[in-house]
């Protein structure tokens, strides 16, 4: 069937507009409840977490109504990071986990992500089946089998204790001053507390959510705020999370940013040295820089590329038996520890290397020289299909031939926003800019 609700990371859209309405959330909850309760037995449970968006209250209540209407018992976690939902789904033996978040998007947006009982995000096939149930008649539970709902007060604490176990025993963060930017999002309590408990001097940023300031001039998509704090406080390192804390960017002591590619390069090299990198392979997406691929090859390691989306990274990791992957955007997936990207755990792995070696962050964040890369986004109206236009296809093909042998072009539609992403890499920066600008101009003319 044609997928209309689910994108690359669950269901996402503007709050109070299709599909992010209370009515649709109720139907999604009911459909998910029926999907996971097909055997008709009782005692099924679901955990629901959320970030700090104002619309989270509305969607949480609607999902709870839909889930309980099909006999699911709902455990409400409140604001917790997305990876906490994956962890708690499994540790609390729930049948399904739900995270209400639009990740790095502005507060006006929201989303709904589902996790299976193993703590991993649902497959495309499972999402397609739930979507088909949303469109049909959903069988409700009999009156005596309606589910219950209750608040779980220690969900965040359970997650924090688990996160600390991923930090090497025998190491502490004493003497390290760390700026932690929580983007006024889901980790605004968990991240500073974990860092403090491990011994760091903590400078918190973005820890005053009000429902509308999530990702607003802070977090992994706006690192300037944290960079200024690093310099002002003389911090050793900065850690920038996004709204649901499944992404991370690292800042050195000068405020310079290391993206996901640089973080993955450091981890892959270190893990390979310790014999921990399974299959000598790092999994990343087509967006990762060519410089990362060259860096790994020089060490006898390989890069396995996937489609954009951390779920596709995880699926490839599970198929290949690999344990490290992620995205340039800052999703770092370590299946030895977590079932999805975890910005806090990734940040701790970086801090552990700093504490172990005594090296400054500036010597750790620059693992390889990047090939010049340019990415531009073109917004389009819902329903428009600019990439299907012959005029756009012709410009893309002409520039692909032009850059052939010198770099690469990647043009794709975002799976989470109405954007066409135009990315290219080329050693010749003049050609790089010209290629991207021509393609962007053609797409803009088409929209």
Percent of the chain with pLDDT over 90: 91
In this structure, the answer to whether residues 170 and 187 fall within a common structural domain is yes
* Structure token digits, residue 284: 């990343």
Q: Which residue has the higher pLDDT, 446 or 220?
A: 220
In this structure, the answer to whether residues 329 and 266 fall within a common structural domain is yes
47: pLDDT strictly greater than 60: yes
> Could you tell me the CATH number of the domain that includes residue 414?
3.30.310.50
Last residue of a domain, one of 180, 212, 243: 243
2: pLDDT strictly greater than 50: no
> Could you tell me the CATH number of the domain that includes residue 198?
3.40.120.10
- The mean per-residue pLDDT over the stretch 201-228 comes to 98
* 63-93 pLDDT per residue, tens: 999 999 999 999 999 999 999 999 999 999 9
- The mean per-residue pLDDT over the stretch 48-57 comes to 98
- The mean per-residue pLDDT over the stretch 112-133 comes to 94
In this structure, the answer to whether residues 52 and 131 fall within a common structural domain is yes
Question: pLDDT-based confidence at 1, cuts 50/70/90?
Answer: very low
**How far is it, in rounded angstroms, from Cα 292 to Cα 215?**
28
Last residue of a domain, one of 198, 214, 243: 243
Cis amide linkage into residue 19, ω under 30° from 0: yes
Which region among 152-166, 169-183, 381-395 has the lowest average model confidence (pLDDT)?
A: 381-395
In this structure, the answer to whether residues 20 and 55 fall within a common structural domain is yes
Q: Where are the beta strands (DSSP E) in 318-363?
A: 324-326, 332-334
- Identify whether 93 is part of a domain: yes
The string of DSSP codes covering 56-97 is HHHHHHHHHHHHHHTT-EEEEEEE--HHHHHHHHHHTT-SEE
Q: Which residue in the list 55, 101, 103, 288 is annotated as catalytic?
A: 103
383: pLDDT strictly greater than 90: no
* 126-162 pLDDT per residue, tens: 999 999 999 999 999 999 999 999 999 999 999 999 9
- The mean per-residue pLDDT over the stretch 284-289 comes to 94
In this structure, the answer to whether residues 215 and 114 fall within a common structural domain is no
- Identify whether 251 is part of a domain: no
Q: Which residues pair with 190 in a beta bridge?
A: none
In this structure, the answer to whether residues 149 and 181 fall within a common structural domain is no
Task: Please confirm, yes or no, whether 103 is among the known catalytic residues.
Answer: yes
- The mean per-residue pLDDT over the stretch 331-360 comes to 97
Count up the domains in the chain and report the number: 4
In this structure, the answer to whether residues 394 and 332 fall within a common structural domain is no
Question: pLDDT-based confidence at 37, cuts 50/70/90?
Answer: confident
Sheet strand arrangement including 10-14: 6-7, 10-14, 109-115, 96-100, 45-50, 73-79, 149-151
- Identify whether 290 is part of a domain: yes
- Identify whether 350 is part of a domain: no
**How far is it, in rounded angstroms, from Cα 63 to Cα 26?**
5
Percent of the chain with pLDDT over 70: 98
285: pLDDT strictly greater than 90: yes
**How far is it, in rounded angstroms, from Cα 306 to Cα 318?**
13
- The mean per-residue pLDDT over the stretch 356-383 comes to 92
42: pLDDT strictly greater than 80: no
In this structure, the answer to whether residues 66 and 11 fall within a common structural domain is yes
- The mean per-residue pLDDT over the stretch 337-359 comes to 97
- Domain that includes residue 197, residue range: 159-243
In this structure, the answer to whether residues 140 and 20 fall within a common structural domain is yes
- The mean per-residue pLDDT over the stretch 417-437 comes to 93
125: pLDDT strictly greater than 60: yes
Please report the pLDDT score of residue 384 as a whole number.
84
- Identify whether 400 is part of a domain: yes
Provide the angle, in degrees to the nearest 10, between the axes of the packed helices 190-197 and 155-165. Answer: 40
Distance of CA 412 to CAs 123, 244, 303, Å?
A: 21, 24, 21
In this structure, the answer to whether residues 120 and 188 fall within a common structural domain is no
In this structure, the answer to whether residues 114 and 228 fall within a common structural domain is no
- Identify whether 254 is part of a domain: no
Which region among 40-54, 135-149, 252-266, 304-318 has the lowest average model confidence (pLDDT)?
A: 40-54
Inter-residue contact 180 to 204 (CB < 8 Å)? yes
* Mean of all residue pLDDT scores within the chain: 95
In this structure, the answer to whether residues 145 and 51 fall within a common structural domain is yes
- Identify whether 252 is part of a domain: no
Please report the pLDDT score of residue 406 as a whole number.
87
- Identify whether 33 is part of a domain: yes
Last residue of a domain, one of 99, 119, 153: 153
Q: Which residue has the higher pLDDT, 290 or 190?
A: 190
62: pLDDT strictly greater than 60: yes
- The mean per-residue pLDDT over the stretch 225-248 comes to 98
Residue 180 burial (10 A CB sphere; 0-12, 13-18, 19+)? buried
Please report the pLDDT score of residue 382 as a whole number.
75
């Amino acid at each position: 069937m044609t997928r209309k609700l689910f994108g690359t990371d669950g269901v996402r859209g503007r709050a109070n507009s299709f599909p992010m309405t209370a009515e649709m959330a109720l139907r999604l909850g009911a459909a998910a409840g029926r999907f996971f309760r097909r055997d008709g037995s009782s005692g099924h449970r679901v955990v629901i977490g959320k970030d700090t968006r104002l619309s989270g209250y509305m969607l949480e209540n609607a999902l709870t109504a839909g889930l309980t209407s099909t006999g699911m018992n709902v455990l409400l976690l409140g604001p917790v990071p997305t990876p906490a939902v994956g962890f708690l789904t499994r540790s609390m033996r729930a049948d399904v986990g739900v995270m209400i978040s639009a990740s790095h998007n502005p507060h006006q947006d929201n989303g709904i992500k589902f996790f299976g009982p193993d703590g991993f995000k649902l497959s495309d096939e499972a999402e397609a089946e739930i979507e088909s149930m949303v469109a049909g008649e959903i069988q409700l539970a009999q009156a005596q089998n309606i589910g219950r709902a209750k608040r779980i007060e220690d969900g965040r604490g359970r997650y924090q204790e688990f996160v600390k176990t991923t930090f090497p025993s025998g190491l502490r963060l004493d003497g390290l001053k760390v700026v932690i930017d929580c983007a006024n999002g889901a980790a605004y309590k968990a991240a500073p507390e974990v860092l403090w408990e491990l011994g760091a001097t903590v400078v918190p940023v973005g820890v005053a959510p009000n429902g509308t300031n999530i990702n607003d001039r802070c977090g992994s998509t706006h690192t300037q705020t944290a960079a200024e704090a690093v310099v002002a406080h003389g911090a050793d390192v900065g850690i920038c999370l996004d709204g649901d804390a499944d992404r991370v960017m690292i800042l050195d002591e000068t405020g310079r940013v290391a993206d996901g590619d640089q973080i993955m390069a450091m981890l892959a090299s270190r893990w390979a040295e310790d014999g921990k990198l399974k299959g000598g392979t790092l999994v990343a997406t087509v967006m990762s820089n060519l410089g990362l691929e060259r860096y790994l090859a020089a060490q006898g390691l390989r890069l396995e590329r996937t489609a954009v989306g951390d779920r596709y990274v995880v699926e490839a990791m599970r198929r290949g038996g690999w344990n490290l992957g992620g995205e340039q955007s800052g999703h770092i997936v370590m299946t030895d520890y977590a079932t999805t990207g975890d910005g806090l755990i990734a940040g701790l792995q970086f801090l552990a290397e700093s504490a172990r070696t005594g090296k400054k962050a500036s010597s750790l964040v620059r693992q390889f020289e990047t090939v010049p890369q340019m990415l531009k986004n073109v917004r389009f109206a819902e329903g428009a299909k600019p990439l299907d236009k012959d005029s756009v296809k012709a410009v893309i093909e002409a520039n692909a031939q032009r850059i052939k042998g010198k770099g690469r072009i990647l043009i794709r539609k975002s799976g989470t926003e109405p954007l066409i992403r135009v990315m290219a890499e080329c050693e010749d920066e003049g050609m790089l800019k010209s290629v991207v600008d021509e393609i962007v101009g053609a797409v803009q003319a088409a929209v």
